[in-house]
Amino acid sequence: DGGITQSPKYLFRKEGQNVTLSCEQNLNHDAMYWYRQDPGQGLRLIYYSQIVNDFQKGDIAEGYSVSREKKESFPLTVTSAQKNPTAFYLCASSMGGDITRVNTEAFFGQGTRLTVV
């Protein structure tokens, strides 16, 4: 089945610890995204990547890092510099591309719920 897989589903982080959230897709999508969602709030963009070995900061990139070494994978590291990391993290992918392109919908993984303990 084609789709986006995020792991783990639940993650607990100790103060001062770095943790990495996994996101893998087999949809052959060029673009991948990471969003953060706090309770009762909308989606805020952390990082996005339109092509392998390239990525851009979103609206709330401080305290996070990413890599895009493979088309299928876009892991997110939550560093100790992120002071309030408890949130629901969502990874998405899309075909991306030119503004006139159709079928550019973004599809989401099931999310990772991160809690600081």
Binding of other proteins by 99 (CB under 8 A):
yes
Binding of other proteins by 104 (CB under 8 A):
yes
Residue 63 identity (one-letter amino acid):
G
CB of 98 to other proteins, least distance (A): 6
CB-count exposure of residue 37 (10 Å: 0-12, 13-18, 19+): middle
Binding of other proteins by 80 (CB under 8 A):
no
Strands 112-116 and 10-13: parallel
Residue 39 identity (one-letter amino acid):
P
x/- site string to other proteins, residues 24 to 63, per CB under 8 A?
-------x-x-x-----xxx-x--x-x-----x-x-----
DSSP 34-57: EEEE-TT--EEEEEEEEETTEEEE
CB of 21 to other proteins, least distance (A): 13
For other proteins, the binding residues (CB under 8 A) are 31, 33, 35, 41-43, 45, 48, 50, 56, 58, 88, 90, 92, 94, 96-111
